[in-house]
Structure 1
């Protein structure tokens, strides 16, 4: 559900609006009837250890010495 409120109401009732957003709703804040901001639920941005397990495999030659030309290119 999307709700629209004016700036004054948003300042006055911010705690209530945040409860609505935490419940999964969106709130559009308007100034003189024009939308200026949206309050939306925050995404979980934490990284979880092992979440990419199996996506990448370390090649067998990972620890092999680099070819001389490639080493020279890094030293330029």
Structure 2
């Protein structure tokens, strides 16, 4: 996420807002210290974004997953 200082944000506010509307958020910093994050209004709230595991229980991994196609793979390497 891009960081801009307050002066640059004031100068280019319209451009920054247009980019945020396209999904590209940014951080406004004061003296190099991040102060606020600007994101599109329809972006997911922090902490509410989908994470790994959101399909838990919807499919099953076979017990032999680690050994699937091992003979074909071994033959490709000349074993």
Q: TM-score, normalised by structure 2?
A: 0.52
The count of corresponding residues between Structure 1 and Structure 2 is 43
**TM-score normalised by structure 1 residue count:** 0.54
Q: Which runs of 5+ in 1 are unaligned?
A: 45-76
After superposing on structure 2, the runs of 4+ consecutive aligned residues of structure 1 that deviate more than 3 Å are none
Unaligned runs of 5+ in 2: 44-79
CA–CA distance in 1 between the matches of 2:13 and 2:29? 14
Q: Is 1:17–2:11 an aligned residue pair?
A: no
* Distance in 2 of aligned mates of 1:11 and 1:38: 15
RMSD over aligned Cα atoms: 1.3
- CA radius of gyration, larger in: 1
